[in-house]
Structures are given as structure tokens and as C-alpha cells.
Amino acid sequence: MNDRIYIKPCPGMSIPMPDNSDPIGAEGALVPNTSFYRRFILRGEAEKSRPPKLSGKSTKTKE
């Protein structure tokens, strides 16, 4: 089992960050894969998601 999951809160829901009591923003966050956070998903308060893609230049070089 993965030790971390990326979740996004559903509209109107507030989910605490793992390190403090600030809520996770609408963009979501990487959190520990614990029953505490999995219960938010099971109750429909959050959804498992993928982290946003990083923007910027590719590391590949043109030939």
C-alpha cells in the first residue's frame, strides 16, 4: 500500500492538513494514507485525485 495519497476536498468540505489545522485548499494535497484521510473519501467529503502537472520547460534537449 502506498504511504501517501493525493486528495481534493469536495465543494464545501474542509479537511485539515496533516502538519497543522489549516484546511486543504481546492487544489488538493498529498496526505498520509491513513484511515483518518481514507474516511473523508468514504464519506464523500473528499476524492482521491492526481497531483497537478508541473508547468515549465521540459528537461529534454532538442537535437
- Is 55 part of a structural domain of the chain? no
The tally of domains found in the chain comes to 1
- Residue 17 lies in domain: 4-48
- Is 54 part of a structural domain of the chain? no
Residue with cell 504511504: 3
DSSP string covering the chain: --SEEEEEEPTT---B-SSSSPBPPTT-EEEE-SHHHHHHHHTTSEEE--PPPPPS--SPPP-
Residues of the chain with pLDDT under 50: 63
- Is 62 part of a structural domain of the chain? no
- Is 61 part of a structural domain of the chain? no
- Is 23 part of a structural domain of the chain? yes
**Closest residue by Cα to residue 28 from 4, 44, 52, 45:** 52
